Amino acid sequence: MPLRGFVHELGGLFKRKPFGGVWGIRDYYTRLEEIAADGAQMTLGYLLMVLASVAMATGGLLLNSSAVVIGSMCVAPFLGPSRAVCIGGLFRNRKTFFGGLIKQIFGLLFLGSGTAYLVTTLMIDYVGGVAVTHEILLRAMPSKLYVVLSVFIAISAGIAASLALSAEPRTIEAPWGEVFDAVIGVEVAISLIPPAAVIGIGLALTNFDICWNAFLLLLVNVLGLDIVGGMVLLWLYGVRAQFHVLETTIRRTVESTVTAILGDISDGSIISVTLIDPTAVKIHATLKHHAAEKHLATLARNIGDEIKNQLGYRSDVMVETIPCQTYSTR
């Protein structure tokens, strides 16, 4: 093939499948928003899991048992708030961003370090023999090599969490996606749980050098996890606020068009939007309605025309209608 033809084909390929954005996944950006919103919610389950994981980590640090410390990471629930910070920041959703950040800070510093302080204080007062172990010193007096590697691990964990949503975006809708998230959650906890527990242990031992060094390590790890490994990579992979706005705008356009033609649609109706590329969209609407059959004949065409006229997008529209009746007694 001549060089000019090769360049032309390559340019055409980039135009058809641009690097920015994740395409071909139904309701992808809406699902990301839902994942982030769920991760920003402070729940009783989250609080209890933090208590359990930090209590285990504290015991492992005081026993100088790396196996117990690793076990504590298996139940640490910090993937959700980390994703809330990343996606909330990218989508410019302040409520989600700050909700995830507050959830992280409260879980790690107040509940996490506070639990470690309480457990260590009880051991000192009623058992005795509490000492600074090698596992504690690793997080309290780390060498330059340990700090660099710890930050590297935090960034790698953030990258893994981001790639699960971007490089393998179908994990969002896959039945095994939650299992995959659980594995990534262990990676995330590696850089968060131990230093948070060491802060509380240092306070109980009135060793403020330990507290300060562990706090700095935790802070650097959080920044590496959330910003460098998480937010930056998602942005580079094409998770942008503009595509979330586009997906939402298309869905609202479909809803307004359907409402104008059919009137109010019943609860349980579903409108799914799949961005194919920056110029085309696929829409699948399942509508429960009370309308007469004559209103349904051109509904898909009307939706497609409306999207073309208002937004300039090519569309492939499929509409499934489910006639229904309602009755209530008073």
**Domains detected in the chain:** 22-239 (1.20.1080), 242-323 (3.30.70.1350)
Q: How many residues does the chain have?
A: 330
Return the structure tokens found at 149: 């590697």
Q: How far apart are CA 74 and CA 184, in angstroms?
A: 10
- Contact (CB, 8 A) for 194 and 108: no
Kindly tell me the sign of the dihedral angle through the C-alpha atoms of 123, 129, 131, 133.
negative
Q: How far apart are CA 9 and CA 13, in angstroms?
A: 6
Helix (H) or strand (E) holding 316: strand 314-323
Backbone angles phi, psi at 83, to 5 degrees: -65, -35
Give the list of residues 6+ apart from residue 110 with CB closer than 8 angstroms, or none.
none
Helix, strand, or coil (residue 167):
coil
Q: How far apart are CA 55 and CA 48, in angstroms?
A: 11
Return the structure tokens found at 250: 């298309």
Better pLDDT: 138 or 185: 138
Helix, strand, or coil (residue 87):
helix
Q: Where does the pLDDT of residue 15 fall: very low under 50, low under 70, confident under 90, or very high at 90 and above?
A: very low
Give the list of residues 6+ apart from residue 10 with CB closer than 8 angstroms, or none.
none
What is the percentage of the chain residues whose pLDDT exceeds 70?
88
Q: Which residues are paired to 270 by β-bridges?
A: 286
- How does the average pLDDT of the chain come out, rounded? 85
- Contact (CB, 8 A) for 147 and 217: yes
pLDDT tens across 263-277, in order?
776 677 888 999 998
Q: How far apart are CA 96 and CA 40, in angstroms?
A: 6
Q: How far apart are CA 280 and CA 298, in angstroms?
A: 20
pLDDT of 177: 64
Residue 265 DSSP symbol = P
pLDDT at 225 over 60: yes
- Contact (CB, 8 A) for 189 and 109: no
Q: How far separated are the first and last CA of the chain, in Å rounded?
A: 77
What average pLDDT does this structure show over 25-51?
A: 93
Query: What strand order describes the sheet that includes 270-277?
Result: 270-277, 280-289, 314-323
pLDDT at 6 over 70: no
pLDDT at 119 over 90: yes
Q: How far apart are CA 82 and CA 174, in angstroms?
A: 21
